[in-house]
Each structure stands twice: as structure tokens, then as C-alpha cells.
Structure 1
Amino acid sequence: MQDSYLSLLKFILPSYILDHFELISARNEGEDILHIELEEPNIIPAEFEAGKYHSKGFFPSITIQDFPLRGHRVYFHIKRRRWLKLEDGDKDKVGELSL
């Protein structure tokens, strides 16, 4: 079932979203609401590979209501990973990575 949702999302969402987020779940709520959960994987973005970064959980999830699909409401729940930069290799000194 996830594969069929993923195939559909490739037509709906910009490619950037699916390049940087994974489909976690897709579920119906009643007859007319679709919830789609996307999560940033635990992979350091290519543009930041030169530094020392460590994943420290997630930012609070955001919910985006998208345009209805054939009369059904669509909600995207997106979780971005929290990346901390280790400064000079010292785990006590960290800075947050902004994407």
C-alpha cells in the first residue's frame, strides 16, 4: 500500500520534497480525509557533509493542509530532523543546522 501512495506522491509533490523526506505512513480518516506523514531521514544533507554533525531528534511536526484531491481533504505531517554541529570535534559545543 505504501508503494502506491509513494507513486501518487511523485505526481503531487515537488521532487525536492521526496528527495529529502521519506514516506512514513498514509492513512484515511473516515471517508474524506487523507493524512500523509513524511520524515527527514537520518542522512546528513550533501551540502553539509564537510562538517561534523549529529542528529538529535526532531523539530516539532508541522501540518500542511494541501488542495483537496477529488473532494478529499489532504494533510501532510512533516517532521524535520534536528542536526547539531559539533564545533572543533567537541560534543559540548554545538550549533543548530539550518536548512
Structure 2
Amino acid sequence: ILDYFELTKVDKEGKMLNIYLQEKNIAPDGHQHQDLESKGFFPEVEIQDFPIRGQKVALCIKRRRWTIKKTGEIISRDWGLIRKGARMTTEFGLFLKGIFG
């Protein structure tokens, strides 16, 4: 995750740890040789992740979007971070599935 996201902030609220990540301005696969312009971010998404030392953890992720200058097309990187039907990371979902079947 840290290859593509920058850690911007960490907040602790009671037993909740919020980790804020912002996608770096690195062109998505297949678009490295195109003239792109960063066009801000999608709305922030909150994903539950593995607990740390008894504290719940939420990853607060801001995904970037770009415009291809030549065509005006809006593009973004396709992330498989969230397991379908869940509000948690794929890794955490697989971990729970392994424990509870």
C-alpha cells in the first residue's frame, strides 16, 4: 500500500485508530506514456483493517483521479482493496474466513 499511498495523518479517538492515506501522483498501469493531469481525489473511503493492540483500525483512503489531456477522459487506478460485500480490506476478510470458515 505504501508504494502507492502516502501516510498523511494518524488520529486516535478512544479505542479507534484512524490512518489517513492519500494516493500518490503515479500514473496508473497502461497510462505511463500519456500526458496526464491530476484532477483531485474521489471522496474518502473508510475501510476496517486488522486491529492493532486492542484498538480498532480504520484506513481512510483518498484515491486520485487523472484526466488524459489529449482526450479529456477521466481515469483512475483500479484497486481491489475492499472485499466484495464487506467494509474491510481483502486481507482482513481472508484472515477472518480462515479463522471462522
Shift in alpha-carbon separation, 1:43–1:98, aligned structure 2, 3 A:
closer
Task: Note the residue ranges of structure 2 that are not aligned, 5 or more in a row.
Answer: 78-101
Report which of the two has the higher share of helix: 1
Render the CA deviation track for 1:2-59: whole Å, top value 9, x for unaligned. Answer: xxxxxxxxxxxxxxx11000000111002x1100000012333464220011011101
Aligned to 1:23: 7
TM-score of the aligned structures, taking structure 1 as reference length: 0.69
Q: Which runs of 4+ in 1 moved over 6 A?
A: none
Render the CA deviation track for 1:53-97: whole Å, top value 9, x for unaligned. Answer: 10111011110011222221000000011111112xxxxx41011
- Write out aligned runs for 1:1-99 (5 A): 17-30=1-14, 32-45=15-28, 47-87=30-70, 93-99=71-77
Contact 2:64 2:76 in 1 (8 A): no
| SS of residue in 1 equivalent to 2:3 | helix
RMSD of aligned alpha carbons: 1.6
Q: Which amino acid is the alignment partner of residue 76 of structure 2?
A: S
Aligned to 2:97: none
Structure 2 Cα separation of the partners of residues 43 and 66 of structure 1: 24
